[in-house]
Amino acid sequence: AISRVHARQILDSRGNPSVEVDVELADGSRGRAAVPSGASTGANEAVELRDGDPRRFHGKGVGQAVAHVNGEIATAVTGLDAEDQATVDATMIELDGTKDKGRLGANAILGVSLATVKAAAEAHRQPLFRYVGGVGARLLPVPMMNIVNGGAHADNPLDFQEFMIAPVGATSFFEAVRMGSEVFHTLRRSLAEAGHNVNVGDEGGFAPAFTTADEALDFVLLAIEQSGYRAGADFAICLDPASSEFFTDGHYAYAGEGLTRTSDEHIDYLLDLARRYPIASIEDPMAEDDFTGWKRLTAEAGDRLQLVGDDVFCTDADRLLDGIEGGYANAILVKVNQIGTLTETIRTVETAHKAGYRVVMSHRSGETEDTTIADLAVGLGCGQIKTGSLSRSDRTAKYNQLIRIEEELGGSSEFDGRGVVRGDHL
């Protein structure tokens, strides 16, 4: 049973405060979890409670969320069985009493939820992925590595937020990391040679002053080929334009390019990119409230492109069911802090799998050294993970944990790049 719950404020990768929770069980087992934070958040995400006191952390303190954990939440969950995750999570949801977890804060609730499962895994003397996934857990996720950053994650004019490479030709997770790292360093050299700045953005990818997607994609393709790999066979390209960020008044406003596209023109532009480059997956191709656009794009290209819903679903199983029924997207991004508990996250993943939607476990642009999502990706059999570039410890911590998991699984581990990420170029 849970005997002690304690939260504190720590710093995330952007230097902003975040919630970290320790849960201790009566047998002495412990779990610790830190909560991530997004920059290009969806409108329907669970609420991240921030203090708003301008004298502390520029208003971004999470002292209230921490106080809620150490007060009300600790009182409510102490004595509960840590193995009964559903009851622990339901207790917090009920205690909060709002639909969006805005009273106690999703950051408070998620910290306790994840620290609880980690303590329970320790009590069972099992690695987290094994405790969550059981004996069947053995599929390592295909990583989407974000090597060029734009949008809200970088101080450059690039309209699209993420240009990712997925090493679909790799034979193991470790080989995927090696291949990605090689391309990352080749890209650095070729950007530097072309006179571009090689500083990195929030997710560890380069953030040169590109203005168009073509520029970024040309450099990425060149880096793949200069590293001795075949674009489209060894690596697939994956995009996250994060389209909600530049959708205003019913139009897609490309500030970097200095032009505006209607929903239809935006779709045609994306499909043209997918014809000219070996793109297998596009996340948030359409804005979170452009449902007409989502349906049109899915009907037109859903059979050959992976279309991943991030902002449009917000890791919410009910919103996902709307998409499944309404015929939009064919995959979902899963961010634990968008929904706020492990139990709800599991329900969302199961709902997706049942409907044949692919699942991409995901970090946030503001991260910590916490690696829980690496274990969840394997435990829940997600098949894909998005956790940034091949630099910055907040990103590589997750890759490194997956390397350890693969090693621990030994011969029983599976990695299936082309089986998981499909596109008509591959």
Q: Which residues are annotated as a binding site?
A: 161, 240, 283, 310, 335, 364-365, 386
202 binds Zn ion (CB under 5 A): no
Contacted entry of Zn ion, ligand PGA, none for residue 39, CB cut-off 5 to 8 Å set by kind: ligand PGA
Degrees, nearest 5: CA angle 294-299-305: 85
38 binds ligand PGA (CB under 6 A): yes
CA distance 242 to 253: 12
Comparing CB distances to ligand PGA, the nearer of 121 and 360 is 360
Site for ligand PGA in 297-316 (CB under 6 A): 310
Radius of gyration of the chain (CA): 21
Which one, of 299, 270, 264, 265, lies nearest residue 283 by Cα? 270
- Cα torsion 384, 389, 390, 393 to 10°: value is -100
201 binds ligand PGA (CB under 6 A): no
310 binds Zn ion (CB under 5 A): yes
Active site (annotated) includes residue 215: no
For residue 391, the minimal CB distance to ligand PGA (Å) is 17
What is the x/- site pattern for ligand PGA, positions 225-244, by CB under 6 A? ---------------x-x--
> What is the separation of C-alpha 378 from the centre of its chain, rounded to a whole number of angstroms?
14
Q: Is the dihedral of CA 285, 305, 136, 142 positive or negative?
A: negative
For residue 393, the minimal CB distance to ligand PGA (Å) is 17
Active site (annotated) includes residue 118: no
CB 265 within 8 A of CB 290: no
Among 13, 29, 40, 243, binds ligand PGA (CB under 6 A): 40
Q: Max CA-CA distance within the chain?
A: 61
Comparing CB distances to Zn ion, the nearer of 288 and 406 is 288
Among 13, 18, 29, 41, binds ligand PGA (CB under 6 A): 41
For residue 41, the minimal CB distance to ligand PGA (Å) is 5
Chain residue whose CB lies nearest Zn ion? 310
Query: Which part of the chain contacts ligand PGA (CB under 6 A), choosing from 69-77, 231-239, 316-324, 359-367?
Result: 359-367
Comparing CB distances to ligand PGA, the nearer of 29 and 368 is 368
Structure tokens given for 68: 């809620």
Comparing CB distances to Zn ion, the nearer of 29 and 281 is 281
CB 106 within 8 A of CB 314: no
Q: What are phi and psi of 288, to 5 degrees?
A: -60, -25
Q: What are phi and psi of 30, to 5 degrees?
A: -130, 150
405-to-1, 70, 162, 264, 280 alpha-carbon distances in Å? 27, 32, 27, 44, 26
Catalytic positions, written as ranges: 203, 335
Q: Interface residues with ligand PGA (CB under 6 A)?
A: 38-41, 161, 240, 242, 310, 362, 364-365
